């Protein structure tokens, strides 16, 4: 069985600073994928970034990067130069093979001016 743990219910960051949202996972599969989604107050879920378990490089997408530490089973999301529009709920998720995604409980990020 797969499990995703996000230990930070809420995080605060000032505009233009970087922030790290934690995610640890548990799986017995060797091949798996890790994902981050953003949910603004409107409710829609937006895909941000993906990391494959065999990818040697950390994934990056613009201001988002995934700090993948396989031995520690962690897949933290780093947002650089935070913007007010980054205030949202962030979910870490994983899957393996053709299994459906397992989501964590999320971290609420608030960016202050």
Partner 1 sequence: SQTIHQWPATLVQPVGSPLSLECTVEGTSNPNLYWYRQAAGRGLQLLFYSVGIGQISSEVPQNLSASRPQDRQFILSSKKLLLSDSGFYLCAWSVYKNTGELFFGEGSRLTVL
Burial class (CB in 10 A: 0-12, 13-18, 19+), 46: exposed
Residue with Cβ nearer partner 1 (42 or 113): 42
30 binds partner 1 (CB under 8 A): no
Sole binder of partner 1 in the list 35, 36, 68, 90 (CB under 8 A): 35
Residues 6+ apart with CB under 8 A from 107: 6, 8, 9, 10, 11, 21, 22, 89, 90
36 belongs to the binding site for partner 1 (CB under 8 A): no
Q: Is 110 an interacting residue with respect to partner 1 (CB under 8 A)?
A: no
Tell me: does residue 86 bind partner 1 (CB under 8 A): no
Q: Does 105 bind partner 1 (CB under 8 A)?
A: yes
Stretch of 13-21, 53-61, 80-88, 94-102 contacting partner 1, by CB under 8 A: 94-102
Contacts of 47 by beta carbon, 8 Å cutoff, 6+ apart: 35, 36, 37
33, 4, 21, 5: which is closest to 89 by C-alpha?
21
Q: Least distance from C-beta 102 to partner 1, angstroms?
A: 8
95 lies in the site for partner 1, by CB under 8 A = yes
Question: Of 63, 67, 74, 103, which lies in the binding site for partner 1, with binding defined by CB under 8 A?
Answer: 103
10-14/107-112 β-pairing: parallel
């Amino acid at each position: 069985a797969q499990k995703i743990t996000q230990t930070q219910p809420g995080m605060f960051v000032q505009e233009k600073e970087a922030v790290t949202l934690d995610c640890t996972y548990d799986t017995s599969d060797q091949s798996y994928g890790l994902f981050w989604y953003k949910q603004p107050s409107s409710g829609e879920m937006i895909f941000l970034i993906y990391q494959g378990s065999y990818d040697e490089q950390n994934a990056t997408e613009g201001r988002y990067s995934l700090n993948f530490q396989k031995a520690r089973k962690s897949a933290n999301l780093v947002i650089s130069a935070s913007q007010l529009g980054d205030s949202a709920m962030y979910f870490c998720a994983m899957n393996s093979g053709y299994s459906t995604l397992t989501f964590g409980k999320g971290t609420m990020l608030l960016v202050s001016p």
